[in-house]
């Protein structure tokens, strides 16, 4: 008898399609990035990220409860300080905006898992992700330009991480792209008695135009120059592997790839190469594009959100950071995806 070879056989009903699904997702693997602003009462909309807001501390508990109720696994905090300075001191102040937010969140929404984004760019007057030093690539007589000074920056990142954990962070996530910061932060946490606190490294973070809306949201665009001296060149694959492997060696507990959509090749390759969980971050520009096209009626927003999320998990990410976390959690619960 002749055998029929049919790929469509397993697609013939919804229950069968669900049975044979290769990618399973759960809301507990979602992380929602949230903006908290010092001296703000209530919340204000972020223009380039339609539907997202900056929250004042008074408005934060309600927003966090909504996230927790949606079943989203965790929130990650970005702070917008009232004052910025050359060294970003608001980032490691024990009464800094993120530290206040963490303390409040721990008290008001105790079940929610809290992550602190560790970086200086929202807190420095110049908008770079560290402290600056003169740099003369063309010799001593040439006028200097400025670059981020790696090691003094790592010392500050370590202080940020420790202060966030002291305030209630369950995990820290450095997004600065300095060299050696995972080892530095790990050592700082261990010394402070926080050996159990995991570090999620933005290990593979590209210099990307997709961060544009975030920089509007956080007021963190660099005042001069760009971030290409520390964030990665998007042409590079080997370098991404090197960053991921180095950070695992330095003690990163989770490796993140950012942005997500254009970098799923690396999510896939890294998830096969490392023995730690891999996270992918759908950044502000990815969110903004979907919202903008949906607002014009050009795409089916819910369907696009589901397809983007499934792509990220299918590529090998076990954790997904996204501004659509609440919606995706609902789609997962409803069985629309996952
Ligand atoms: C801070 C940081 C940025 C993002 C996360 N952490 C901005 C940047 O590097 O300029 C971007 C997130 C997003 O676009 O959603 N270094």
> CB within 8 A of 132, min separation 6: which ones?
86, 126, 146, 147, 148, 149
CA–centroid distance, 142 to ligand 1, in Å, is 32
Q: Residue range 277-286: average pLDDT?
A: 98
Contact 232, 239 (CB under 8 A): yes
DSSP annotation of 4 reads P
Q: Please give the CATH topology (third level) of the domain spanning 24-333.
A: TIM Barrel (3.20.20)
Give start and end residues of each alpha helix (H) in the chain. Answer: 14-19, 60-69, 97-108, 150-167, 181-191, 212-218, 238-250, 264-273, 284-295, 301-315, 325-333
Whether ligand 1 lies within 6 angstroms of the CB of 55 is answered as no
SS3 115: strand
For 45-91, how does the pLDDT look when each residue is reduced to its tens digit (9 = 90+)? 999 999 999 999 999 999 999 999 999 999 999 999 999 999 999 99
Distance CA 77, CA 114 (A): 8
Whether ligand 1 lies within 6 angstroms of the CB of 119 is answered as yes
At 4, is the pLDDT very low, low, confident or very high (cuts 50, 70, 90)? confident
CA–centroid distance, 117 to ligand 1, in Å, is 9
> CB within 8 A of 92, min separation 6: which ones?
156, 159, 160, 163
Query: Which residues lie across from 205 on neighbouring strands?
Result: 258
Rounded to the nearest 5°, which phi and psi values hold at 196?
A: -85, -5
Contact 90, 97 (CB under 8 A): yes
Structure confidence at residue 67 (pLDDT): 98
- Ordered by start, the domain boundaries in the chain are 24-333
- For atom 10 of ligand 1, the residue with the nearest CA is 211
For 20-43, how does the pLDDT look when each residue is reduced to its tens digit (9 = 90+)? 999 999 999 999 999 999 999 999
For 316-326, how does the pLDDT look when each residue is reduced to its tens digit (9 = 90+)? 999 999 999 99
- For atom 6 of ligand 1, the residue with the nearest CA is 175
Q: Residue range 196-223: average pLDDT?
A: 96
Structure confidence at residue 51 (pLDDT): 97
At 269, is the pLDDT very low, low, confident or very high (cuts 50, 70, 90)? very high
For 137-148, how does the pLDDT look when each residue is reduced to its tens digit (9 = 90+)? 777 777 778 899
CA–centroid distance, 250 to ligand 1, in Å, is 22
> CB within 8 A of 78, min separation 6: which ones?
33, 34, 35, 36, 98, 117, 122, 217, 218
Whether ligand 1 lies within 6 angstroms of the CB of 214 is answered as yes
Structure confidence at residue 136 (pLDDT): 75
Q: Which residues are catalytic?
A: 205, 258
Distance CA 126, CA 1 (A): 75
Structure confidence at residue 25 (pLDDT): 94
Structure confidence at residue 9 (pLDDT): 93
Q: Residue range 108-134: average pLDDT?
A: 96
At 174, is the pLDDT very low, low, confident or very high (cuts 50, 70, 90)? very high
Whether ligand 1 lies within 6 angstroms of the CB of 32 is answered as no
Q: Is the peptide bond before 52 cis (omega within 30 degrees of 0)?
A: no
Q: How far is CA 179 from CA 150, 243, 287, 288, in A?
A: 7, 9, 29, 30
Q: Is the pLDDT of residue 3 over 90?
A: no
For residues 12-34, one letter each, b for 16 or more C-beta atoms within 10 angstroms of the residue's C-beta and e for the rest, the string is: eeeeeeeeeeeeebebebbbbbb
Structure confidence at residue 112 (pLDDT): 97
Contact 97, 138 (CB under 8 A): no
Q: Residue range 210-230: average pLDDT?
A: 93
Distance CA 86, CA 7 (A): 61
Structure confidence at residue 134 (pLDDT): 85
Structure confidence at residue 229 (pLDDT): 92
Q: Residue range 164-181: average pLDDT?
A: 97
Distance CA 79, CA 91 (A): 8
CA–centroid distance, 100 to ligand 1, in Å, is 21
């Amino acid at each position: 008898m002749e055998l029929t070879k049919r790929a469509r056989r397993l697609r013939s009903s919804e229950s069968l399609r669900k049975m044979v699904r290769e990618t399973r997702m759960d809301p507990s693997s979602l992380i929602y990035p949230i903006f908290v602003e010092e001296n703000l009462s209530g919340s204000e909309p972020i223009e380039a990220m339609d539907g997202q807001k900056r929250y004042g501390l008074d408005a934060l508990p309600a927003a966090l409860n909504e996230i927790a109720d949606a079943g989203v696994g965790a929130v990650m905090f970005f702070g917008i300080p009232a004052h910025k300075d050359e060294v970003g001191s608001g980032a490691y102040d024990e009464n800094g905006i993120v530290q206040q937010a963490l303390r409040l969140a721990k008290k008001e929404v105790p079940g929610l898992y809290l992550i602190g984004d560790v970086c200086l760019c929202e807190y420095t007057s110049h908008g770079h992700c560290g402290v600056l030093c003169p740099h003369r690539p063309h010799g001593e007589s040439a006028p200097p330009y400025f670059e981020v000074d790696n090691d003094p920056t790592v010392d500050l990142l370590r202080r940020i991480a420790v202060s966030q954990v002291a305030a209630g962070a369950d995990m820290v996530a450095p997004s600065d792209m300095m060299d050696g910061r995972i080892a530095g932060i790990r050592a700082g946490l261990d010394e402070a008695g926080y050996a159990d606190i995991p570090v999620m490294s933005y290990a593979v973070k590209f210099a990307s135009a997709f961060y544009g809306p975030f920089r509007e949201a956080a007021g963190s665009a660099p005042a001069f120059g760009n971030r290409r001296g520390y964030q990665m060149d998007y042409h590079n694959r080997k370098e991404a592997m090197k960053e991921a492997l180095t950070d695992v060696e330095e003690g990163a507990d989770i490796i993140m790839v950012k942005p997500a959509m254009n970098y799923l090749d690396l999510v896939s390759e890294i998830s096969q190469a490392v023995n730690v969980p891999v996270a992918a971050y759908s950044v502000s520009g990815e969110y903004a594009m979907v919202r903008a096209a949906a607002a014009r009626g050009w795409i089916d927003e819910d369907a696009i959100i589901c397809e983007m999320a499934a792509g990220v998990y299918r590529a090998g990410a076990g954790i997904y950071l996204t501004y659509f976390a609440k919606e995706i959690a609902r789609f997962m619960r409803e069985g629309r995806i996952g």
